[in-house]
Structure 1
Amino acid sequence: MTRLLLASTSPARLATLRSAGIEPVVHPPGVDEDAFLAEAQTRFGPLTPVDVALTLARAKSEAVSATASGDILVLGCDSVLEFDKQHFGKPASPDEAIQRWQLMRNKTGVLHTGHWLVDVRPTVAGGTGGAIGSSASTRVHFADLSDAEIRAYVATGEPLRVAGAFTIDGLGGPFVSSLEGDHHNVIGLSLPLLRNLLADLGVAITDLWR
C-alpha cells in the first residue's frame, strides 16, 4: 500500500497528518538550509519569502527521495514568516525571539509553507516518477502582548523551535488574535494543498488513510 514519507522532524506536521488519518514514515532530511539558500541565491538572485519556503521544501524532499524506495511518496515542507518586508525562520536565540515579538505584537504577518512532493513509487504500483510543489499562505494577526508576556513565552523555549517564533497549537495560541486562510498551514502543513498535490500525481488522499 502507498505510504507517505515525511521528510521532516516536526512534531506538529506529524500530528497534523495523523489527525487527518495518515500515518507517515518519518525521515530527517539532513539539509544544510543556510548553504542551500546561499547557493540558490547565487544561481537565481534574491529570493522572495515564498521562494525560500518552496526552495527549502524541495531540498528536504529531494534529499530524502534520493535514497527512498518502495511504494512511497516523499513530502518535504518548510515554513517562513513574512513580516515587514523580511522573512523569518526559527529565531537563533532567546534575545532574537524577544525582539521579533516586540516587532510583531499587534501587527500582521503572512506565514508561507512550501510543499514539495516526489513520487518514488515503482511503475507497477502506479508511480509516475514525478515531482510537484506549491506553497500556501495564511495571514496571521498577532495580539498586543506585554513585555512580560513576551519574556514568559520565550522562556518556555517554544518560540525557538518554530518558524516565526510562534505556534497556534501550543503555548502561543493565546497570542494569535485571528487567521485569514488555512490554519493547518500555520501549524506547518496545509492539508487541502496536500490533497491537491497528491491528486496531481494520481493519488487520492483517502488512499493514505490508515
Structure 2
Amino acid sequence: MNRIRASFAAVALATAACSQAMPAAVAAEETVRAPVADRISRESEGLKNAYFAGGCFWGVEAVFSHVPGVTSAVSGYHGGNAATAKYDIVSSGVSQHAETVKVTYDPKIVRYDQLLRIFFSVVHDPTQLNRQGPDRGAHYRSALIPVSADQRAVARAYIDQLEAADIWDRPIVTKIETAKRFYPAEPYHQDFAHKNPRHSYIVRWDAPKVAALRRLLPQHHRSSFKTG
C-alpha cells in the first residue's frame, strides 16, 4: 500500500511540475533561427558533456534528445547541494538549483557551438529573466554551465555575437555559471515528454519546440528519440 501511494505521489508531482497556472497573456518562448557561431568549438575526440538550464527541463531534454550526435540527455539540478537536489525543494524556490539538462554528445557529429545555436534558437527564450513561458522562479533561469575552457570561451563569444546581432527586442539574460555537481532528477522526470506526449503541458509548450527544431534547423533534427 505504501509503495502504491509513493508511486501515485510521484505521478502527481510530475503532473504539477513545470505547469503552474499563469495569465493567458504570457507568451510561449520565442523561436528564431539564430546565426551560426563565429567561434567554432575545438574539442578533442570522445564523448563530451554540456549543461543547459532554460526553464522546465522536460522541454530542454526533449529537444536535445532529437539532435543527431547526442547520446543522452538527462534532466536534473545544478547550482545547489545534494540536500536540496529534490524536486519538491527545488520547485519551492528555496534552493540555488536550476532545472538543468546534462547533454552527452559526440563532437564529431555535433559541436558545442552548434548545441548553443539550438539552445538559443528553439529550446528557450534567453530574454526571460528567471522564468520560461508559464513557469517562474530562479530555478527556471537561463544559464550555460561550461565544463572546459573551450566551452566557456565559445559560450561567451556566442552570447556576445547574439547581443550584437540584435535578434530580440529585449536584452539577453543568459548567465554563464561555474560548474558544480550535477544531480539527476527523479526517475519520473526522465524522458517525460517522450513518455507523456499527450500531457497538456507537453502539447502546449514542449512539442512545439521539437517541431521548431525540425522546421528551423533540420540538419540538427532526427525523428528518433535518444533516451537518457
Identify whether the pair has TM-score above 0.5, normalized to the shorter chain: no
Q: Give the TM-score taking structure 1 as reference length.
A: 0.27
Task: With a CA cutoff of 8 Å and minimum separation of 6, indicate the structure with the bigger relative contact order.
Answer: 2
TM-score by length of 2: 0.26
Q: Which has the higher Rg, Structure 1 or Structure 2?
A: 1
